[in-house]
Amino acid sequence: MFQPLTKPDLGSASSTAQVYLRPTSFVDRPHELDDVCLRIADTMVWFAAWHVSVREGDRVQSAIVPVPDLDAWIAAMPDRLGEAATAQRAGIARPRGAFHLGERTIRLGEPQLMGILNVTPDSFSDGGKHVDAAAAIDAGFALASAGAAIIDVGGESTRPGAPLLWEGDEIQRVESVVSALAKGGVAVSIDTRKAAVMEAALAAGARIVNDISALRYDDRAMEVVVRAGCPVVLMHAPSAKSDPHEGGSYAHVLLDVYDMLAERVAACEVAGIDRAKIIVDPGIGFGKGVGDNLALVNGLALLHTLGCPILFGASRKRMIGALDNEAAADQRLGGTVALHYQAAGQGAQLLRVHDIAENRQALRVWRGLRDAALTA
């Protein structure tokens, strides 16, 4: 339940209350607003207000607070909430810089594309297209040539109802593909939740681990990432068990997803992973209904307060079909471009997509509009 929030309400917040600061009121000409707007990290996105929410159980109070007024609101908060709000504001400002992935440097000042390469017979959209290693390698190089900064190689389908794959079979599917792409100068991430697969792929040349379970599924996964010193994607899924879609029930999906990712970021830091190497992903479509997914897209900017780059992936996902007369997976390009364009406008640094050329064109138009607004 949402209710308006005022500064006097803050003083009576309970010891279990939580605060959330989400950038809102985005502006395209920050130079005209002097000191009344802020920049999200080192992106090309500025905002003029905060959507401040205080959560106590199922009750959420919210208000829109202009950027210059936030200090007064923090001063009105109990110390614990004020400290949390201050840390979240600092997370927004923290530069995300770049990832140095072997021969490649991926700069995060503007959105970068991650190309999806599923070496599987049963993925929901492209299953069976790249089961042959040679075909998968060719497809990976094609994605890179079309403009993908990173190729995300996956050997196990995690669509709803997909069977669990033995790690040995998963390694067999991905190892030669990762090796060939890496030797060809491509920055490769490995999409897996299994420690043995991570180890094999990293040894073959992968530079990023992309784990849908946020390093919860396999007890050794955290150890592997710490030892490798590589960037890692922590994705939200409601379950760390075999079926990642299991148990998708939320009191407030945006805040629930945020809380889980914040906990996983903290756990990774305790284990020895530098926050600068942690990427967060809201997990669109994983144990979430259409309404949940739409709320996450609209509130995506909240995740910036974690101080990590955001990976957003909604390519060809079912929510698009649900909004467009049950369009089949191969008929969802327009919706894919629209969702990722929206994510770019909220400062997402990495966009995980199947169709590189079309999404790259959309990002070029987005960048052209941003440049024109800044210089006109």
Q: Give the pLDDT of residue 15.
A: 86
> Measured between alpha carbons, how far is residue 352 from residues 61, 343, 344, 349 in Å?
33, 11, 12, 10
How many CB atoms sit inside 10 A of residue 153's CB? 31
Q: Give the pLDDT of residue 163.
A: 85
pTM (predicted TM-score): 0.95
Can you tell me the distance from the alpha carbon of 280 to that of 264, in angstroms, rounded to the nearest whole number? Answer: 9
What's the DSSP call for residue 28?
S
Alpha helices for 244-289 (secondary structure H) = 253-271
Q: Are 215 and 205 spatial neighbours (Cβ–Cβ below 8 Å)?
A: no
Which one of 96, 173, 216, 317 is the catalytic residue? Answer: 317
Can you tell me the distance from the alpha carbon of 265 to that of 235, in angstroms, rounded to the nearest whole number? Answer: 11
DSSP string for 169-194: HHHHHHHHHHHHHHHTT--EEEE-S-
29-60 per-residue burial string, b: 16 or more CB within 10 A, e: under 16 = ebeeeeeebbbbbbbbbbbbbbbbbbbeeeeb
Please write down the HEC assignment for all residues of 41-97: CCCCCEEEEEEEEEEECCEEEEEEEEHHHHHHHHHCCCHHHHHHHHHHHHHHHCCCC
**Amino acid in position 174:** V
Domain ranges of the chain: 2-93, 98-375
User: Is 216 noted as a catalytic residue in this protein?
Assistant: no
Strands (DSSP E) along the chain, which ranges?
2-4, 18-27, 38-39, 46-56, 59-66, 98-101, 104-107, 112-118, 150-154, 188-191, 208-211, 232-235, 278-281, 311-312, 350-353
Q: Which residues pair with 233 in a beta bridge?
A: 210, 279
Which one of 194, 207, 352, 370 is the catalytic residue? Answer: 352
CA torsion through residues 198, 275, 348, 56, sign: positive
Q: Which fold would CATH assign to domain 98-375?
A: TIM Barrel (3.20.20)
Per-residue pLDDT of the chain in tens (376 residues, 90 and over written 9): 557 888 878 878 888 999 999 999 999 999 998 789 999 999 999 999 999 999 998 899 999 999 999 999 999 999 999 999 999 999 999 999 999 998 899 999 999 999 999 998 755 555 556 668 999 999 999 999 999 999 999 999 888 888 889 999 999 999 999 999 999 999 999 999 999 999 999 999 999 999 999 999 999 999 999 999 999 999 999 999 988 999 889 999 999 999 999 999 999 999 999 999 999 999 999 999 999 999 999 999 999 999 999 999 999 999 999 999 999 999 999 999 999 999 999 999 999 999 999 999 999 999 999 999 998 7
Q: How many residues does the chain have?
A: 376
Can you tell me the distance from the alpha carbon of 137 to that of 125, in angstroms, rounded to the nearest whole number? Answer: 18
Can you tell me the distance from the alpha carbon of 209 to that of 278, in angstroms, rounded to the nearest whole number? Answer: 10
Copy the structure tokens of residue 374.
Answer: 């800044």
User: Is 352 noted as a catalytic residue in this protein?
Assistant: yes
Q: Give the pLDDT of residue 4.
A: 82
Q: Give the pLDDT of residue 58.
A: 85
- 246 phi, psi to nearest 5 deg: -70, 135
